Amino acid sequence: MKVVIIGAGISGLLSALEFAEQGCSVIIFDQQQAGQAASWAGGGILSPMYPWRYPQAVNALAKHGKVLYQAWNEKLKPISGIDFEIHETGMLIFDEADFDLGLNYAKQFQEPMQHCEYLQQEQLKQVNPRISAQFKQAIYFPQIANVRNPRLLKSIITYLKQHPRVQFIENTWVENFQIRNQKIQSVQTQNGQIYEADQFIIATGAWSEHWSTQLRFSIPVTPVQGQMLLFKAPEHWLPTMCMNNVMYLIPRTDGHIVCGSSMNHLGFDKRPSTQTQQDIYKASIAMVPELENFPVVKQWAGLRPSSPTGVPYIGKMPNLENLWANFGHYRNGLCMGPASAQLLRQLVLNQPTIVSPDAYDPIKLLQSEVENAV
């Protein structure tokens, strides 16, 4: 089977991995360099932030993220030479309104990885002595990890580019689908090249609404800008991830600390703003005051693919036999990514699925848009 994947962010790359490892031939396109958009820009927490605030369909995929990344890292690292750096730091949450929900979540939804403990100030200091004295209590999730997403992407891309069944075509815009009898025959790129395949997958993240015009129904995915800061502290300086009021600190093993993030509806504008940088800086210092002793070495922004409920579209697209979706993951593309790609591969190849696919079915989720277009 030959598969065309449009989009080489984390969703497209993991989908390519899944199909290539099943013996399929894969052509993967990206309008820019692979892995340079939202997937590179994110924080890499391997859990939704405050999972109890999300639909269960999000958590059902996200809970597989850490284990599946560990398996992929073991497989890819000997060939790519790059470690994903899956860092099991645990997470401290200071939002007191979320304490009861957080403490009950693991048991209520049978997710042992989300087990958490209530800490008072003395215990809190033992777990993370860098925390501001203003915080007298927290809930602590010891098993939550983060992945260093630029390294993750680089490893997958390096692996796929040496794979005999994978063809990479970067810096190339796919212009349109060539459709006959409710079936896609091929895609045509901006330079007029035609690529035929058996199955076609849209994994274009925040740009997925672009396909609405040709497919003749609305795809309600919009870009939401998220801005980040990067501090450089000594190695192993901050022992845990921290979160308060939807702002987070993520320590990397080499002492870099990723801080974020904002949510702004600015279309496709990725320019960081000074005001947002200051807001993130203040929120970071409020959690860990000593951070002000270290330099901010980088700031950037990415575009998240916002869907109406945060639940991604995974499965067959309406009205066409061989067009599939894997997009709309909003803030959780990295942690949902491995299970999303696995689910898509299982659906396309008619295999048993990792989760029930109904909640992600584009035909159901887009039905009102399809009916309005008819």
pLDDT by 10s per residue, the chain, length 374: 999 999 999 999 999 999 999 999 999 999 988 887 778 888 999 999 999 999 999 999 999 999 999 999 999 999 999 999 999 999 999 999 999 999 999 999 999 999 999 999 999 999 999 999 999 999 999 999 999 999 999 999 999 999 999 999 999 999 999 999 999 999 999 999 999 999 999 999 999 999 999 999 999 999 999 999 999 999 999 999 999 999 999 999 999 999 998 898 989 988 888 999 999 999 999 999 999 999 999 999 999 999 999 999 999 999 999 999 999 999 999 999 999 999 999 999 999 999 999 999 999 998 754 444 43
The pLDDT value recorded for residue 270 is 84
Structure tokens at 173: 């815009």
**What is the rounded distance in angstroms from the CA atom of residue 128 to the CA atom of residue 287?**
11
**What is the rounded distance in angstroms from the CA atom of residue 338 to the CA atom of residue 65?**
6
Domains (range + CATH), the chain: 2-47+151-220+308-373 (3.50.50.60), 89-145+222-306 (3.30.9.10)
**What is the rounded distance in angstroms from the CA atom of residue 11 to the CA atom of residue 5?**
10
For residue 86, the SS3 value is coil
Secondary structure string (H, E, C) spanning 16-52 = HHHHHHCCCEEEEECCCCCCCCHHHHCCCECCCCCHH
Contact 71, 147 (CB under 8 A): no
Residue carrying structure tokens 């005051």? 289
Structure tokens at 175: 């212009």
Contact 353, 308 (CB under 8 A): no
The pLDDT value recorded for residue 87 is 96
Residue 34, Ramachandran bin (φ over 0: left; ψ between -120 and 50: alpha; else beta): beta
Contact 305, 268 (CB under 8 A): no
The pLDDT value recorded for residue 372 is 47
The pLDDT value recorded for residue 132 is 97
